[in-house]
Amino acid sequence: MTMLKTFRGGVHPLHGDHEGKAQTRGEPTRAIEPKTVTLLMGMHLGAPSEPCVKAGDRVKLGQVVGTPVGFLGLPVHASVSGEVLSVGPVQSVSAPNALAVTIKNDFRDEWAELPAPLGSVEDCPADQIVPAIRAAGICGMGGAAFPTHVKLAVKEGQFCDTIILNGAECETHLTCDHRLMLENSDRVVDGLRAAMRALNVPRGVIAIEDNKPDAIEAMRRAAEGRAGVEVAALHTKYPQGGEKQLIQVVTGREVPSGKLPLDVHVIVMNVGTAAAVAEAVIDGKPLISRITTVTGHVDRPSNLRVRVGTPVRELLEACGGISLPEDRVGKVVMGGAMTGFPCPGLEVPVAKANNGIVVYDAKEARETEETPCIRCGRCVDACPMGLNPYLLKHLCDAGDMARAQKECVMDCIVCGSCSYICPAHRHLTQTFKAMKDAIAAEAKKGKG
């Protein structure tokens, strides 16, 4: 096996500021209890679930309130016990009318009847692991929210020889995976081993950036004596935790354009997802909570264990609230600075894949104005995919879909490195994302 030290390209955002992580990386996770939760039916990538409760119903903790739809579908579980207040459209981070079930918490945490746990990782029946993962409603918790049971579905003729756990946490500000690896190392390793057992995979690699030496140490201890499990320390550089970059660095393989990691016999999972898998397999518990980093301009930056569906407002309140006068609040971003989504309001609920809430002041959030491209080539040096962002931008601005595709716009991973580094503040990443969406929509239209 080759072990590259790092990938080509990339940037070091907030490098002088410890990647924005200093405020929260030493903060032990604390749990908060929400007054209400709003469970979006579309928290995962795939068709939204179908609500199976109605307003007025009493639900118990862990009870299914949304049933899966389609191959990519996942169930949604009540993350509190209490009364269903409403079933209907709410504002989500990306849509003004996302279907959701809102539950008023009775603070009793009465558990619903759960499926029998499969037992320890060593003894559980291997063929029941993936169904248990689906039943627990687990999707990728690193941001993309891809349903885990689909990721673990190895088709005829395919095989997987390496599962990589992504603990790189290369995004700025976020420390939730860091804390998880410190506080729950065994669970992370158990989740990895469960996935390895389900697919009979000989090798599992937990990949962590070297700015988290304590997490590397903790995971090494937890992995000791576990056959096939190893820990890899990676160079701290964004986007080290990008799926394709991670595969390249850990295995020396490249995922061919348009293909999936499984085509190079690799599956990549977030460490948080692995911990949720362990809960599902060992305890039979569904995914009802996660760790979310709350930082930026809040009184007490923290790592919170929150119930899925908790509104952003309650997370901020648990951290002493926004520490800015109202007119100086710029934006509230769900996720890190490089790929996070701006939050349209504070009632937006936390979904399964929300790893952080970061408050920016007005100055930090002000819109940068595009100035002429000076062809300095910094975007070319920064692109981890080897693209020509400066040229692509010209093509996209001209609406030239065909040439943009020829210049591999579809290979763009929308990591934000080019926009970050551009001295002319060109809106590169967002332009490429729009172009990718347009091309995908066109392709869909052609098919339909």
User: Taking the complex as a whole, how short is the minimal distance between the CB of residue 422 and another protein, in angstroms?
Assistant: 8
**Is the distance from CB of 205 to CB of 350 less than 8 angstroms?**
no
d(CA 24, CA 257): 37
Applying the rule CB under 8 A, the residues between 138 and 177 that interact with another protein are 172
Which is nearer to another protein, 204 or 389 (by Cβ)? 389
User: Taking the complex as a whole, how short is the minimal distance between the CB of residue 301 and another protein, in angstroms?
Assistant: 16
Applying the rule CB under 8 A, the residues between 333 and 362 that interact with another protein are 333, 335, 337-346, 358, 360, 362
Residues whose CB is less than 8 angstroms from the CB of residue 446 and which lie 6 or more positions away in sequence, other chains included: none
Which is nearer to another protein, 183 or 370 (by Cβ)? 370
Based on the shown chain and the rule CB under 8 A, indicate whether residue 390 belongs to the binding site for another protein.
Answer: yes
User: Taking the complex as a whole, how short is the minimal distance between the CB of residue 391 and another protein, in angstroms?
Assistant: 8
Tell which one of 197, 265, 305, 403 touches another protein (CB under 8 A): 265
Beta bridge partners, 322, equal 298
Which is nearer to another protein, 154 or 380 (by Cβ)? 380
User: Taking the complex as a whole, how short is the minimal distance between the CB of residue 448 and another protein, in angstroms?
Assistant: 27
Tell which one of 112, 126, 153, 255 touches another protein (CB under 8 A): 255
Task: Determine the angle formed by the axes of helices 185-199 and 271-278, rounding to 10 degrees.
Answer: 80
Applying the rule CB under 8 A, the residues between 80 and 109 that interact with another protein are none
Residue 133 phi/psi, 5° resolution?
A: -65, -40
Applying the rule CB under 8 A, the residues between 31 and 60 that interact with another protein are none
User: Taking the complex as a whole, how short is the minimal distance between the CB of residue 43 and another protein, in angstroms?
Assistant: 20
Query: For the CA atoms of 141, 147, 150, 151, what is the dihedral angle to 10 degrees?
Result: -20
Cα-Cα-Cα-Cα dihedral sign, residues 400, 406, 409, 410: positive
Based on the shown chain and the rule CB under 8 A, indicate whether residue 294 belongs to the binding site for another protein.
Answer: no
**Is the distance from CB of 98 to CB of 92 less than 8 angstroms?**
yes
Residues whose CB is less than 8 angstroms from the CB of residue 296 and which lie 6 or more positions away in sequence, other chains included: 173, 333, 357, 358, 359, 360
d(CA 353, CA 384): 24
Based on the shown chain and the rule CB under 8 A, indicate whether residue 70 belongs to the binding site for another protein.
Answer: no
Based on the shown chain and the rule CB under 8 A, indicate whether residue 439 belongs to the binding site for another protein.
Answer: no
Q: Which stretch binds another protein (CB under 8 A): 80-88, 145-153, 200-208, 428-436?
A: 428-436
> How many residues sit close enough to another protein to count as binding (CB under 8 A)?
71
